[in-house]
Amino acid sequence: MIFGETRRKHVGTTEQKLLFDSQKGRCMYCGRKLGLAYLHVDHKTPISRDGSNKIRNLQLICGPCNTRKGSMTDGEFRRKYGLTPATKAKGPPAKAIPQSYFEKKTKEIADKKAKRKKKDGGFWGL
C-alpha cells in the first residue's frame, strides 16, 4: 500500500439502510425511486481523488447515474448537469428527472466540445 492511499471498503448493510432511509429510497441525482438492491453506494469525492469511506462521503445513486458520474466529484457532476448544488440540496430531487434529460445534456456538451475543436483547427491545430 502506498503512503496515504485509501482503499475502498465494503459498506455494511446498516450503513446502506441508513443512507436508503435518509434518501427515501431515491437516487441522489435523478430522484428515481428504487429498492436498496438496485441502488449503488457512491463516494461523493471518489477514493481515487482522496475521498474517504466515511458515511458523510457516501450516497446512493442508480446505475445509470453511477456510470455517468464515473470519477467526477459530486460538485462536478451537479455542475455538469445543471443540478441543484449539494449545499442547497436537502436530498434527492422531489420529482424524478428522466434519464433522457442527462442524455440530452451529455449530447449538448459533446456538441459544444466538437464545435470548439473544429473552430480551433481540430486535433492537430491545422
Residue 1 is predicted with a pLDDT of 42
In the predicted model, residues of the chain with pLDDT beneath 50 are 1-3
Q: What is the DSSP string of 23-51?
A: TTTB-TTT--B--GGGEEEEESS-GGGT-
User: What single-letter DSSP state applies at residue 70?
Assistant: T
Residue 51 is placed in which grid cell?
475521498
Residue 6 is predicted with a pLDDT of 58
- The CA distance from 119 to 114, in Å, is 9
Is the C-alpha dihedral spanning 40, 51, 58, 31 positive or negative?
A: negative
Residue 124 is predicted with a pLDDT of 58
Task: Name all domains of the chain by residue range, CATH numbers in brackets.
Answer: 13-119 (1.10.30.50)
Residue 123 is predicted with a pLDDT of 58
Residue 45 is placed in which grid cell?
469525492
Residue 24 is placed in which grid cell?
427515501
Residue 117 is predicted with a pLDDT of 81
Using only the alpha carbons of the chain, give its radius of gyration: 17
Residue 7 is placed in which grid cell?
482503499
